[in-house]
């Protein structure tokens, strides 16, 4: 390639969320942690939730008075209800929700190698969990008057990534569910959108073979590795009051690997 490659992630510092109250699931590490840090930097107050309790508490402590940690297991409906209630109480309400928590589990397995219980677990966390968290948060988001939900999908569901079928199926369901949620929650003034990252350099993708990383790199219009910071601007914009007429949409953020 000619010219100089820009290795700088998107700058979201110009987006302000001062006073906004946001819950981020799966925030103890990876993308969720990155979102939590970006939100605090943008002026928001944040509750982080996860099943990695020690890590989650450490991140919240590092973020100071603007952040709080709440345990939440997306496989447990009662824990979801309790976690969302605690988050809303600590924040004094809820303006935004980032449904980031998810598991992969099916990486590297062909469809005939998938175990039924593993497939069900992926769907229960990634799809049912997203539904239950959003459902529990609905009344708090409605009371905000400008409630915003951002679901984390994946571009693997847009190009049909092989040897990842349970995860791909779950993220395809999240995309479809986003549109249905947008229609149902629109009556409450709540917007629901999804962003679809490409292969991003976080702990959760460390298992991905080098050839898959190379496949992504070569196929992107912007040919550099994707990092968590590349997603901040999209997520933060969708949480702003100004994004109140954007709903039911899917925004791929993948350097042009998949284009709508």
Residues marked as catalytic = 167
Task: Compute the half-sphere exposure of residue 258: CA atoms within 13 Å on the CB side of its CA.
Answer: 19
Q: H-type helices in the chain, by residue range?
A: 30-41, 53-63, 77-91, 116-123, 129-144, 156-159, 165-185, 210-219, 232-239
Query: What are 79's two structure tokens?
Result: 């824990």
In this structure, the number of other CB atoms found within 10 A of the CB of residue 215 comes to 14
Mode of pairing for the β-strands spanning 148-152 and 191-197: parallel
Q: H-type helices in 105-154, by residue range?
A: 116-123, 129-144
User: Looking at the DSSP assignment, which residues form a beta bridge with residue 251?
Assistant: 195
In this structure, the number of other CB atoms found within 10 A of the CB of residue 179 comes to 16
Task: Compute the half-sphere exposure of residue 148: CA atoms within 13 Å on the CB side of its CA.
Answer: 25
Calpha distance 135→52 (Å, rounded): 23
Calpha distance 21→143 (Å, rounded): 12
In this structure, the number of other CB atoms found within 10 A of the CB of residue 145 comes to 13
Cα dihedral value 62, 66, 71, 72, nearest 10:
-120
């Amino acid at each position: 390639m000619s010219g100089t490659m820009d290795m700088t992630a998107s700058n979201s510092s110009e987006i302000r969320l001062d006073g906004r109250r946001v819950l981020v699931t799966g925030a103890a590490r990876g993308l969720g942690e990155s979102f939590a840090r970006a939100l605090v930097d943008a002026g928001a107050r944040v509750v982080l939730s996860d099943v990695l309790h020690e890590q989650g508490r450490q991140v919240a402590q590092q973020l100071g008075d603007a952040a709080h940690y709440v345990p939440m297991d997306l496989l447990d409906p009662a824990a979801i209800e309790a976690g969302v209630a605690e988050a809303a109480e600590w924040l004094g309400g809820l303006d935004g929700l980032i449904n980031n928590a998810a598991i992969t589990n099916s990486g590297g397995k062909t469809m005939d190698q998938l175990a039924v219980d593993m497939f069900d677990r992926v769907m229960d966390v990634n799809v049912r969990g997203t539904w239950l968290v959003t459902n529990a948060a609905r009344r708090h988001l409605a009371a905000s008057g400008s409630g915003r939900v951002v679901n984390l999908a994946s571009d693997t569901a847009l190009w049909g990534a092989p040897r990842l079928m349970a995860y791909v199926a779950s993220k395809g369901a999240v995309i479809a569910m986003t549109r249905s949620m947008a229609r149902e929650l629109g009556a409450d003034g709540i917007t629901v959108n999804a962003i679809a990252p490409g292969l991003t350099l976080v702990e959760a993708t460390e298992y991905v073979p080098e050839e898959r990383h190379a496949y992504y790199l070569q196929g992107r219009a912007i040919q550099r590795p994707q990092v968590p910071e590349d997603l901040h601007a999209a997520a933060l914009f969708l949480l702003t009051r100004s994004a109140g007429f954007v709903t039911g949409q899917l925004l791929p953020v993948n350097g042009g690997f998949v284009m709508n």
